[in-house]
Structure 1
């Protein structure tokens, strides 16, 4: 691949993180783009929100990620930056199982573009357990991958941050944190939560690596119209026709690909090749 096809080869970008996310993100950026990723030194990204709730996130995931990237870019004095945001809870499509969404953005102030990719996370250890001091913990700890994966402990009732212990990766520390949190909880119980910060959650690190590969491949895709990096899917169009009666359904009919730098766009068929909607999705055949 020529240099014209690799506009970021040999360039340096800063990743706004205090949770070692560069370990998951940097390899794909370098292998695909030749882009060198450096973490920000001493940048407090927790000021934009924390998983444990002491500081709420103000704005959408995308808004916060852009602010975070620009904080890193400003601190490092470079025009290229990355940042990620994650959100975990009930799966967005299957609410009775845990899931999450990871977002990774790239900001290029030289070209005036912001490119982002997201990932719906199904492989996650996101979980919690309410316990009293002395309760058996082994099934829960095995399920969430402790101690390779860290834990957060807080009171089950009352002020949730009154006694808050994060980053617990040792059984003696966990036992002590449960006792301290339960002592200030009105119901004398403690709430254990998976620590979703990247450096304490290898499962999340794997998701970030997958997402970094996706974003790197998108940045390596140049716009057919203007040649800017970051050409990729920007929208979808619903209305796939029913296979039986031809009525438009709510299923995706086509995908829209666009450029972050110009107005060039093109519509492409569904990635899976499906040309007609199964009858069970039709509002006429199944009113």
Structure 2
């Protein structure tokens, strides 16, 4: 058996910018393609917090870019590569009644200025909140939905303070004491406090690693990966294009080369119930 191909970035300094333990989710995927990345501890809260003490300015991509560039500035390593993550949570854009998690990973190659982005949207999240006060039944239902105590909570107080990282009943009872004027209980979405989110970041890191391990068929640069889904999966009964994905678009951020790839689940048609013509 021949030796595994050496990644073109092997030997270069690869930095993962984080303050919330995301290296545990990202480093193993990079190691799998021969990249020995290191964690660079960075105060990423200055670019925005989930609780809003610091508002995120701009998009998820812009926030991740600011983190990655800050890591490169701190490291002052010529030709280094920085990786940063950003997440957002809210109602699903299609199924508005369900919570949705969005994760983004950005790679910046300081030598070329090139950026490689991979993103993921998933319904696998415990994102939720509960206005306080609430009765015991509503609290218990919320705690179950929040996957507490395996996932931490945050209590917001009327004076603008937040009690974060609550991981046990005693801490929750203390934070909800009326003397502290609690007004809301919510899930702590910071990665080191949320195993479900950490799992989503790890899944996205594997997707990113797959792209980094794939050279562009046109220019040979690493990073040929998923860009977006292409809608139009045809109805099996009438052939009408639906809003479901028919294929994936792959793209190289170095030269712009694009190619289509079939759905990974090998699905070739939509069902009549998913068709706007058969089921208007």
TM-score bin (small chain) = 0.7 to 0.9
Distance 1:127 1:235 in 2: 28
Distance 1:18 1:147 in 2: 22
Shift, 1:57, TM fit: 1.0
**Equivalent pair of 1:3/1:9 in contact (CA under 8 Å):** no
1:215 is paired with a residue whose SS is helix
**Equivalent pair of 2:131/2:184 in contact (CA under 8 Å):** yes
Q: How many residues matched? A: 276
Output the aligned Cα RMSD: 2.7
Shift, 1:132, TM fit: 3.4
- Indicate the residue corresponding to 1:37 in structure 2: 37
Matches within 5 A, 1:1-287: 5-31=6-32, 33-41=33-41, 43-78=42-77, 79-132=80-133, 135=136, 137-155=139-157, 162-179=160-177, 182-183=178-179, 190-282=183-275
2:203 is paired with a residue whose SS is helix
Change (3 A) 1:263 1:142: closer
My pick for the range that moved more, 234-243 or 169-178, is 234-243
Which ranges of structure 1 fall in alignment gaps of 5 or more residues? none
2:56 is paired with a residue whose SS is coil
Shift, 1:167, TM fit: 1.6
Change (3 A) 1:163 1:121: same
Change (3 A) 1:35 1:131: same
My pick for the range that moved more, 221-230 or 104-113, is 104-113
Distance 2:126 2:176 in 1: 20
**Equivalent pair of 1:196/1:204 in contact (CA under 8 Å):** yes
My pick for the range that moved more, 118-127 or 46-55, is 118-127
Change (3 A) 1:283 1:119: closer
My pick for the range that moved more, 239-248 or 55-64, is 239-248
Shift, 1:266, TM fit: 2.0
Give me the TM-score of the superposition, normalised by structure 2.
0.85
Change (3 A) 1:132 1:218: same
Shift, 1:247, TM fit: 4.5
Which ranges of structure 2 fall in alignment gaps of 5 or more residues? none
**Equivalent pair of 2:100/2:123 in contact (CA under 8 Å):** yes
**Equivalent pair of 1:92/1:100 in contact (CA under 8 Å):** no
1:207 is paired with a residue whose SS is helix
Distance 2:230 2:133 in 1: 51
1:36 is paired with a residue whose SS is coil
**Equivalent pair of 2:211/2:226 in contact (CA under 8 Å):** no
Shift, 1:211, TM fit: 1.2
Change (3 A) 1:241 1:201: closer
